[in-house]
């Protein structure tokens, strides 16, 4: 089948029943009549994807429906116009009188008379398309379909063509002999029925007709054999009447062209890649940052698209799908054409990301990621990051979960360790939002305004993870920080100072397992509220510190804790109004890669938020994206942290 387009790409098999034509047709005024059962709701294969036309949403376009040969709008291939249109729950039927007099139309009638089984293809404008995911069932046209497929819920019929090959080959053909009444259409198959009731017409030269039909079938068979690996050439050869010699010549030319050095055209994936890079530059992403995502030739090629915006991307998408639009025109029809072209490209092999939605998603993801990485968060520093495979509750064992690791006896027998119930759990949650590229943004070519949304989402995502962690930490569930867990100190001597740091460090070093053995957990991080940030930095960098002490008590001149631990400050501990917040409380934390007090889990390694495109909204002439992130936060081992009340 020729490459599908937006207007005509769904072919349904038909059959033709035709009485023998008469040479007296011109003088008697006889005109054959067609009755076309064009579609019965069967799934149609296009570019490897299934499409179903919902007949409830199919309407005829303005005026009479043209009946053509091979979707060709030239005069030589006009068969007639439909004068009847019948649409039921499970089939589409049209009636038309053959009025075309060209040689092509005559050959169409002759081949049908000789027994050639013609098929049909409907030409439609797609107004609304719905993607059905794998294994999901839908009901349309009185039957049930199972995804994956595309359901065309709203469309307009603009033409019907007689074609050589359709999607369904379940056809049959009968050649009547002598005058017959017009047969009733068979609704259990797709049919084109041509009929006439001649009176006193001389018998045609059946032998000549059959010889011509046989010659045509032989020509088609020879072309199909020669061009088996070049379906586009085969279609052109059959349509334009080439002989085997010309077909072979065209195949040779195409083969030589394929062997020549590759030439990048405006419609290839490389061009879209260069345009994507140019859009990234247009929104202000720095070239050094982009060099990690694009190779040097792509960045060089992006120069011709500098300052490109949404309009340039829409025009390129339309051209890549094989359509034409006058640059400078951006109206509702152009936007719809771009959305339809995008769907066609996404259904085509090799264009999975080189599309309107794919490129905008890629650019938005890069803008989101840059903004996300620019936020000064401390969550990845103070918490262990892990991955889980699904949304089920994940179980982790604490240090006391294994009670022994003893010397092996001379007999070589290993003891079986008892696993205790000292565990904690973690579970994913999903955070997200939907954003829209509106019709106004498209018409205004305002790429910058649209990309501000992913930037904001990147920042919001980073802040949301930070907030989730500190809300949990300050809530202190199940008395995580408590005297019972030996990880909480309070009193006036716990205000951040050399002495208080010494006390907190000793508290962590003295932690033991259930058998009373030291766990050898050492501090690595000093976590403080923003109010104590400068004090913490001084204590971790200054080697000589003079502190106020009681009368008669010596003041140490050296700082034994300088350089010991990494100071980390967060305003979430004191300035965000969270329950449990404090301007004086601070924490010592172990290295989370050794023993973690806090854990963050992500779904299957996706440790940054993601933007995905949705279907174009034909009601608002906009496009939607969803930004989401799956992560979960949980407290883990209380012996990996010490909290100081600071007062």
For 429, the token pair is 């949650």
Is there a domain that residue 106 lies in? yes
**Highest-pLDDT range among 130-139, 205-214, 235-244:** 130-139
Is there a domain that residue 532 lies in? yes
Is there a domain that residue 279 lies in? yes
Task: Give yes or no: residues 330 and 385 share one domain.
Answer: no
Per-residue pLDDT tens for 436-464? 888 888 888 888 888 888 888 999 999 99
Percent of the chain predicted with pLDDT > 70: 76
Separation CA 604–CA 598 (nearest Å): 19
Is there a domain that residue 62 lies in? yes
Task: Give yes or no: residues 384 and 324 share one domain.
Answer: no
Is there a domain that residue 259 lies in? no
Task: Give yes or no: residues 387 and 274 share one domain.
Answer: no
Task: Give yes or no: residues 492 and 591 share one domain.
Answer: yes
Percent of the chain predicted with pLDDT > 90: 26
What is the per-residue pLDDT for 549? 58
**387 CB contacts (<8 Å, ≥6 apart)?**
601, 602, 603, 604, 605
Average pLDDT over residues 189-193: 35
Query: Considering 159, 179, 201, which residue would you say is the last residue of a domain?
Result: 201
Q: Are 528 and 500 in contact (CB under 8 A)?
A: no
Task: Give yes or no: residues 593 and 468 share one domain.
Answer: yes
- Confidence band (pLDDT; 50, 70, 90) for 10? very low
Domain that holds residue 627: 376-403+422-647
Task: Give yes or no: residues 341 and 386 share one domain.
Answer: no
Q: Would you say residue 348 has pLDDT above 80?
A: no
Average pLDDT over residues 143-151: 89
Separation CA 231–CA 356 (nearest Å): 27
Mean pLDDT of the chain: 78
Q: Is 636 in a helix, a strand, or coil?
A: coil
Separation CA 343–CA 185 (nearest Å): 35
Q: What is the CA radius of gyration of the chain?
A: 37
Per-residue pLDDT tens for 497-534? 999 999 999 999 999 887 788 888 999 999 999 999 99
What is the per-residue pLDDT for 175? 28
| CATH number reported for the structural domain that contains residue 390 in this entry | 3.90.1690.10
What is the per-residue pLDDT for 405? 63
What value, to the nearest 5°, has the Cα angle with vertex 437 and ends 431 and 442? Answer: 165
Average pLDDT over residues 472-494: 94
- Confidence band (pLDDT; 50, 70, 90) for 46? low
What is the per-residue pLDDT for 13? 40
Is there a domain that residue 535 lies in? yes
What is the per-residue pLDDT for 488? 97
Q: Would you say residue 168 has pLDDT above 50?
A: no
- Confidence band (pLDDT; 50, 70, 90) for 599? very high
Higher pLDDT, 643 or 418: 643
Task: Give yes or no: residues 438 and 339 share one domain.
Answer: no
CB atoms within 10 A of CB 103: 10
Average pLDDT over residues 54-76: 83
- Confidence band (pLDDT; 50, 70, 90) for 9? very low
Per-residue pLDDT tens for 349-386? 555 556 788 888 889 899 999 999 999 999 999 999 99
Is there a domain that residue 237 lies in? no
Is there a domain that residue 33 lies in? yes
C-alpha distances (whole Å) from 422 to each of 514, 596, 637 are: 10, 15, 9
Task: Give yes or no: residues 443 and 535 share one domain.
Answer: yes
Query: Considering 168, 184, 201, which residue would you say is the last residue of a domain?
Result: 201
Task: Give yes or no: residues 302 and 386 share one domain.
Answer: no
Task: Give yes or no: residues 345 and 381 share one domain.
Answer: no
Task: Name the DSSP class of 334.
Answer: H
Predicted TM-score (pTM) of the model is: 0.56
Q: Would you say residue 217 has pLDDT above 90?
A: no
Higher pLDDT, 574 or 70: 574
Higher pLDDT, 198 or 49: 49
The separation between the first and the last C-alpha atoms of the chain, rounded to the nearest angstrom, is: 81
**Number of domains observed in the structure of the chain:** 3
- Confidence band (pLDDT; 50, 70, 90) for 257? very low
Place of tokens 């913490």: 536
What is the per-residue pLDDT for 72? 74
Q: Which of 24-38, 350-364, 380-394 has the lowest mean pLDDT?
A: 24-38
Task: Give yes or no: residues 618 and 509 share one domain.
Answer: yes
- Confidence band (pLDDT; 50, 70, 90) for 11? very low
Per-residue pLDDT tens for 77-115? 888 888 888 888 888 888 888 888 888 888 888 877 777
Phi, psi of 219 (to 5 degrees): -60, -45
Residue 15 Rama label (left phi>0; alpha psi -120 to 50; beta): beta
Task: Give yes or no: residues 566 and 646 share one domain.
Answer: yes
């Amino acid at each position: 089948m020729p490459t599908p387009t937006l207007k005509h790409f769904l072919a349904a098999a038909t059959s033709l029943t035709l009485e023998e034509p008469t040479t007296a047709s011109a003088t008697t005024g006889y005109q054959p009549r067609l009755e076309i059962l064009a579609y019965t709701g069967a799934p149609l294969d296009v570019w490897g994807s299934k499409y179903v036309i919902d007949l409830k949403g199919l309407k005829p376009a303005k005026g009479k429906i043209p009946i053509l040969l091979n979707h060709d709008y030239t005069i030589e291939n006009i068969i007639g116009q439909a004068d009847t249109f019948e649409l039921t729950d499970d089939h589409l039927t049209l009636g038309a009188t053959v009025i075309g007099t060209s040689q092509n139309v005559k050959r169409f009638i002759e081949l049908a008379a000789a027994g050639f089984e013609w098929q049909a293809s409907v030409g439609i404008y797609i107004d609304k398309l719905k993607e059905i995911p794998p294994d999901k069932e839908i009901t349309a046209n009185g039957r049930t379909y199972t995804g994956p497929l595309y359901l065309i819920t709203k469309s307009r019929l603009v033409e019907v063509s007689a074609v050589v090959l359709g999607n369904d080959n379940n056809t049959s053909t009968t050649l009547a002999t002598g005058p017959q009444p017009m047969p009733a259409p068979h609704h259990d198959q797709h049919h084109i029925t041509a009929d006439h009731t001649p009176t006193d017409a001389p018998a045609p030269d059946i032998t000549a007709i059959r010889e011509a039909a046989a010659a045509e079938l032989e020509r088609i068979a020879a072309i199909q054999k020669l061009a088996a690996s070049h379906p586009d050439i085969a279609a052109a050869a059959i349509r334009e009447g080439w002989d085997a010699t010309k077909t072979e010549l065209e195949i040779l030319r195409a083969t030589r062209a394929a062997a020549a050095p590759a030439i990048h055209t405006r419609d290839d994936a490389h061009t879209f890649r260069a345009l994507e890079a140019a859009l990234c530059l247009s929104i202000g992403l720095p070239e050094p940052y982009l060099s990690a995502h694009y190779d040097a030739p792509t960045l060089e090629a992006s120069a011709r698209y500098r300052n490109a915006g949404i309009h340039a991307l829409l025009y390129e998408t339309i051209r890549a799908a094989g359509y034409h639009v006058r640059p400078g025109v951006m109206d509702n029809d152009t936007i719809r054409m771009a959305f339809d072209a995008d769907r066609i490209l996404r259904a085509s092999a090799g264009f999975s990301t080189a599309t309107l939605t794919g490129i905008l998603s890629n650019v938005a993801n890069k803008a989101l990621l840059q903004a996300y990485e620019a936020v000064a968060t401390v969550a990845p520093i103070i918490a262990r990051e892990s991955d889980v495979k699904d949304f089920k509750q994940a179980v982790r064992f604490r240090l006391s979960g294994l009670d022994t690791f003893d010397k092996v006896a001379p007999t070589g027998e290993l003891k079986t360790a008892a696993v205790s119930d000292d565990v904690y759990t973690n579970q994913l949650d999903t955070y997200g939002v939907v954003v829209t590229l509106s019709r106004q943004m498209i018409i205004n070519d305002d790429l910058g305004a649209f990309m501000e949304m992913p930037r904001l989402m990147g920042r919001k995502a980073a802040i949301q993870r930070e907030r989730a962690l500190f809300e949990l930490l300050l809530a202190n569930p199940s008395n995580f920080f408590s005297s019972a867990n030996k990880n909480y100190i309070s009193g006036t001597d716990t205000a951040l100072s050399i002495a208080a740091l010494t006390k907190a460090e000793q508290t962590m070093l003295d932690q033991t397992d259930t058998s009373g053995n030291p766990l050898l957990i050492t501090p690595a991080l000093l976590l403080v509220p923003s109010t104590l940030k400068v004090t913490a930095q001084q204590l971790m960098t200054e080697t000589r510190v003079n502190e106020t002490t009681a009368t008669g008590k010596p003041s140490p001149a050296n700082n034994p804790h300088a350089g010991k631990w990494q100071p980390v400050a967060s305003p979430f501990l004191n300035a965000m109004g969270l329950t449990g917040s404090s301007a004086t409380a601070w924490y010592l934390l172990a290295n989370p890669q050794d023993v973690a007090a806090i854990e963050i889990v992500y779904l299957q390694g996706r440790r940054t938020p993601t933007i995905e495109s949705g279907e174009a909204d034909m009601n608002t002439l906009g496009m939607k994206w969803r930004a989401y992130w799956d992560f979960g936060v949980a407290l883990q081992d209380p012996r990996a942290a010490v909290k100081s009340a600071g007062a």
